[in-house]
Chain A
Amino acid sequence: MPWTRKDLITLEELSLDEINQIHATAAAFKKILGRSVKKVPALRGKTIVNLFLEPSTRTRISFDMAAKRLSADVISFDAAASSTTKGETLRDTAENVRALGADMIVIRHAASGSPLYLSKLLDIPVINAGDGAHAHPTQGLLDTFTMREHLGSLKGRKIVILGDILFSRVARSNIHALKKFGADVTLVGPSTLVPRHFTDLGVKVSHDLRSALADAEVVMLLRIQHERQATGYFPSLGEYTSMFGLNKTRAGWLNPKAIIMHPGPINRGVEIDNDLADGPNSVILEQVTNGIAVRMAVLYLCSGGQPENVIASGD
């Protein structure tokens, strides 16, 4: 089936087949990344604008790297430098970017729904690099890509997402993707950060770490934001760590081959023990590497490339 989408806004609207296409394309690009010459000419002559209106380091660098590996020209705006701080509306910023001749926009924005809004305004592709607590589709794609590399099929596999779920776009995008793969997903964390409404997304909600982690094959940790403590969602980082931090004892409850994931940046000693972050079960740095391949696939497909072409060139 050919790829037909111009934009990538949320994984909720993608079919399983489309996610598989992205993963297959990413796998082909990943092979290219292992070569000595890592660049392909797929997007030569195209200009991609990274419109990062919320601070980000690793996602922006990852998109930057992905675009450059595809030979695109990349221009990055960040919140501080952009005119939005001077009161320009998102519509005006976007129309200016289009008038400058951009071929694609990658947007990160603190307000949920902004990429969808932008995609309706512009005829060029819009890629969501994270919007509020709504979606972070490339993260969900790279996380499930990484899980599949280790587990193969995700159907019926027990996967735990642990931490600040309420404010997490990473959790939401993973939930949508994992449901499509038929995984058995449990969200765990303090009840203030894992509200009951999430069960409506087709996942389990638990506040009991032991039963949730028992025999799980994947545990994905989410960063605990210090500001949540200040606004009263939990008493202290110390209490969080004592109740929900992943340590050696608790990791022992997992399936022995379980992988430990984290979208970064990690708080060592808060949500995860130092040793576990660097231990044999940790795939945290693989996630970073896979992120480039997955983002290359997304940029390539949404700019009109077809999966089979790259799969051929990758071999």
Chain B
Amino acid sequence: MTPLWIQKAHIIDPAAKRDATGDLYVNEAGKIVPSLSAAAKKRARKIDASGLVACPGLVDIHVHFREPGQTHKETIATGSRAAAAGGFTTVVCMPNTSPVADNAGTIQAIKDAAARDAIVRVYPTGCITTGMKGQALAPIGSLKRAGVVAITDDGDCVQSNALMRSAVEYAKMFDLPVMDHCQDHALTLGAVMNEGVASTRLGLRGWPNAAEDIIVSRNVILSHYTGAHIHCQHISSKYSVELLRRAKARGVRITAEATPHHIALTDAALEHYDTHYKMNPPLRTEEDRLAIIDGLRDGAIDIIATDHAPHTDYEKDREFDNAPNGILGLETALPVTLDTLVRQNKFKLPYVIDLMTRKPAQLLKLPAGTLAEGAPADICLFDPAEKWLYDAKKGFSKSANSPWSGQTLTARVKYTIVGGKMVFENGNIR
């Protein structure tokens, strides 16, 4: 492998508290090194990174790559290319594939496909319950042995408190975090958007915050009771942020994520029934949005994750009630998050990088998220000031369901390096 000499980059490595301009070196083995020998420097590919930020490759612990079974929407090949284009070098796939990933065989198939097709690091999760039906525990030990990094019934929250209690208690034995999509089903029958003034005007069935708050409370209580690690996915409600904050202050092992769309958008965007703003949990009010940002600021919410959820044009091109939930996230996460947190809310850039690198990696104990000496050279180089027109149809995902398509975004990924190998460079996959 050709060594890399990244010159004059603004290096931000929150794990090492590094925030300074300098050079980064990657050796033949694809590891970060303090310097290269004179001979290696001569052979190295030199990258002029002046004006660019060099940070650990981004880590997203919530993506849907739709393989196996829904490969018309996305595949591990296309999803991993979208990840690379967005600066992500490590992603964690949700198990709601077809069939669902509730057994070791399916996990092995996903790992085989990732080894064959992926250009970034792809980790699988397994289901909490068989068939993701919320009725009986999946073979969690076998899933762990097959290589899952967490278990989750993402999209289909386990409704039985008794079963959830068993799941977290059982998974704790394997040191496996349980990731939960917090939604009380009975409170959200037929719901397609946030319940509030906007849903009243639009005549759409509302999804009340209470349906999330109740399950977040349930998870706080079960985590407190069992000592197990429960991770609450895509928090959308103000009161949930407060519940998490208080639980953490008491030392409960609960963590949470927020998506770029929940911190950037509100339910006011649904005015024209545009299905590119339909996702689950739904976009909520300005009050909720600001509370999530506050949660990211003080640590009530731990990390950013995208919930990258590809759907084809023809699936999204439906009556609002009948369109599937979810939007793309990987290729827009960095610019949208920087715009929302750094530009609008005055977060420090290294802190935001931390929310997208070291912290998510640590949350699931993944070997990623640092530029420390000897670490695999997973690097994202981006221009924080470049403005560019995002066209989802020209993106690398197989689908194009993004609310940001056609908009000018600020901050653009220029290079993505995985284990010392250049995988994305100036708009092209290598």
Contacts and interface: CB of A to CB of B under 8 A. Distances in A.
Interface string A148-170: 00000000000000000000010
A89 B204 CA distance: 20
Given A134-B204, A169-B203, A195-B200, A112 B273 contact: yes
B202 A113 contact: yes
B197 A113 contact: no
Interface stretch (A196-204, A210-218, A257-265): A196-204
Given A89-B314, A117-B273, A112 B200 contact: no
B197 A200 contact: yes
A134 B203 CA distance: 4
A148 B426 CA distance: 66
Contacts of B205: 133
A60 interface: no
Interface in A162-214: 169, 172, 195, 197-198, 200-201
Nearest to A136: B203
A109 interface: yes
A201 B202 CA distance: 11
The size class of the interface chain B forms with chain A is 20 to 34
A201 B203 CA distance: 13
B321 interface: yes
Contacts of B116: none
Contacts of B196: 197
Interface string B185-214: 000010000011101111111000000000
A163 to B, nearest CB: 16
B170 to A, nearest CB: 34
Given A89-B314, A116-B272, A116-B273, A111 B201 contact: no
B308 to A, nearest CB: 25
A117 to B, nearest CB: 6
A134 B200 CA distance: 8
Interface string A67-108: 000000000000000000000011100000000000000000
Contacts of B272: 113, 116
A231 B273 CA distance: 26
Given A135-B203, A172-B203, A197-B200, A112 B321 contact: yes
A15 to B, nearest CB: 18
A214 B408 CA distance: 56
Contact of B202 (A112, A117, A200, A231): A112
Interface string B297-335: 000000000000000001001111110000000000000
Interface string B79-93: 000000000000000
Contacts of B202: 112-113, 134
B203 A89 contact: no
A199 to B, nearest CB: 9
Given A89-B314, A112-B273, A200-B197, A117 B203 contact: no
A111 B196 CA distance: 18
20 contacts: A91-B317, A110-B321, A112-B202, A112-B320, A113-B202, A113-B273, A113-B321, A116-B272, A132-B203, A132-B204, A133-B203, A133-B204, A133-B205, A134-B204, A195-B200, A197-B195, A200-B197, A200-B201, A201-B200, A201-B201
| In the complex, the 9 A-B pairs of residues with the closest C-beta atoms, listed nearest first | A134-B203, A113-B273, A133-B203, A111-B319, A111-B321, A112-B203, A197-B200, A200-B197, A113-B320
